[in-house]
Amino acid sequence: MFDSVAVVGATGAVGTLIRRILEERDLAFREIKFLASQRSAGSKIPFRGAEHTVELLEPAAFDGIELAICSTPDDVAAEFVPWARERGCTVVDESGYWRMKPEVALVVPEVNPQAIDSHTGIIASPNCSTTQMVVAMKPLHDAARITRVVVSSYQATSGAGVAGNEDLAAGTAAHLEGRQHEYSAFAHPIAFNVIPQIGSEKHAGYTSEEMKMVYETHKIFGDDSIKICPTCVRVPVTNCHSESILVETERKVSVDEARELFEAAEGIVVEDNLGDGVYPMPVGCDDRDEVFVGRIREDLSSETGLAFWCVSDNLRKGAATNAVQIAELLAQRKAAV
């Protein structure tokens, strides 16, 4: 049990979901506080049957706090995490700022829980598109070692925050009514469209979102030799990211073996019956914590290739749930001492 826990960014979209997941799950603590920017400080929020006042995110807010679960923009995380660490607080951080720092553990509990044992006070949660992919990769990698990945993501507008979903709703209404909509979250219309760019131009024609999938996957598996070719696309779906994934392994993995490996893996649900039209879709994976896999088939162009389809709730497993699961891992390690 933790003596005291703080949720940082508690009134944002992911922070609100973290609060809800903490109510659903069994993380034990004696006290909790909710921190946010000046704009939200002083507001009231309900939690486990009581009303709590949101406190200002400032250095003194971390006095006496044992664990902080955080979802803020990168620049905010860069500033406040040192405040927490100076006061002996362990931080589980959702932002992208700390993920690739060599001294920071980057953890998906179903994939590399052992990484938490060497943390130095900061444990990062990966990008949402990386998280679901590595959960799906894990059983195949353990069984036959993955050497190459080709992945195309179809990412929901909620990945761009509340403004992303507002753009989709307002843009769709405007399009149907023959009006123009001025988009705020996207550089191009998202209604009735797909945008083959998420993030800024980063490296050799790849975007920052795509390179996150490369670098974070290497760090999580501790294997920089895995070749990864990602393409990230924004699609007009409100929630749940989908990914078309093709892997090549050192030895051939048959469809039947792959299905057995997926079915036995922690955190994966298999929905795979093409003849009956059974496969994962965002509409059926919304508000779920699992990673869903289907359309499992051999790669017709490679002797050791396997293709499959993967869907997961980007706000839950891709963000809030993974952070809470990391906190639960910390609690388990603490109880075992």
For residue 42 the two structure tokens come to 């002083």
Alpha helices in 50-127 (DSSP H): 74-86
Give CA–CA dist 166/231, Å, rounded. 24
Residue type, 171: G
Residue type, 95: S
Q: Which of 70, 89, 119, 128 is catalytic?
A: 128
For residues 166 and 186, is the Cβ–Cβ distance under 8 A? no
If asked whether residues 275 and 139 sit together in one domain, one would say yes
Query: What is the residue-level pLDDT of the chain in tens, covering all 337 positions?
Result: 899 999 999 999 899 999 999 999 989 999 999 999 999 999 999 999 899 999 999 999 999 999 999 999 999 999 999 999 999 999 999 999 999 999 999 999 999 999 999 899 999 999 999 999 999 999 999 999 999 999 999 999 999 999 999 999 999 999 999 999 999 999 999 999 999 999 999 999 999 999 999 999 999 999 999 999 999 999 999 999 999 999 999 999 999 999 999 999 999 999 999 999 999 999 999 999 999 999 999 999 999 999 999 999 999 999 999 999 999 999 999 888 7
Strands 29-36 and 55-56: what pairing? parallel
If asked whether residues 98 and 165 sit together in one domain, one would say no
Q: What is the DSSP string of 170-215?
A: HHHHHHHTT-----SS-SS--TT--BS--S-EEETTEEHHHHHHHH
If asked whether residues 222 and 328 sit together in one domain, one would say no
If asked whether residues 253 and 324 sit together in one domain, one would say no
If asked whether residues 185 and 117 sit together in one domain, one would say no
If asked whether residues 81 and 149 sit together in one domain, one would say no
Q: Which of 89, 232, 241, 285 is catalytic?
A: 241
Host domain of residue 26: 2-126+319-336
Q: Is 218 a catalytic residue?
A: no
Give CA–CA dist 223/15, Å, rounded. 32
Q: Domain of 35: which CATH number?
A: 3.40.50.720
If asked whether residues 161 and 290 sit together in one domain, one would say yes
Q: Is 181 a catalytic residue?
A: no
Q: Domain of 177: which CATH number?
A: 3.30.360.10
Query: 3-state DSSP: the chain helix, strand, coil percent, rounded to 5?
Result: 35, 25, 35
If asked whether residues 253 and 234 sit together in one domain, one would say yes
If asked whether residues 69 and 164 sit together in one domain, one would say no
pLDDT at 91: 97
Residue type, 190: I
If asked whether residues 115 and 139 sit together in one domain, one would say no
If asked whether residues 137 and 122 sit together in one domain, one would say no
Q: What is the DSSP string of 210-252?
A: HHHHHHHHHHHHT-TT-EEEEEEEE-S-SS-EEEEEEEEESS-
Number of compact structural domains in the chain: 2
pTM of the full structure: 0.96
If asked whether residues 291 and 180 sit together in one domain, one would say yes
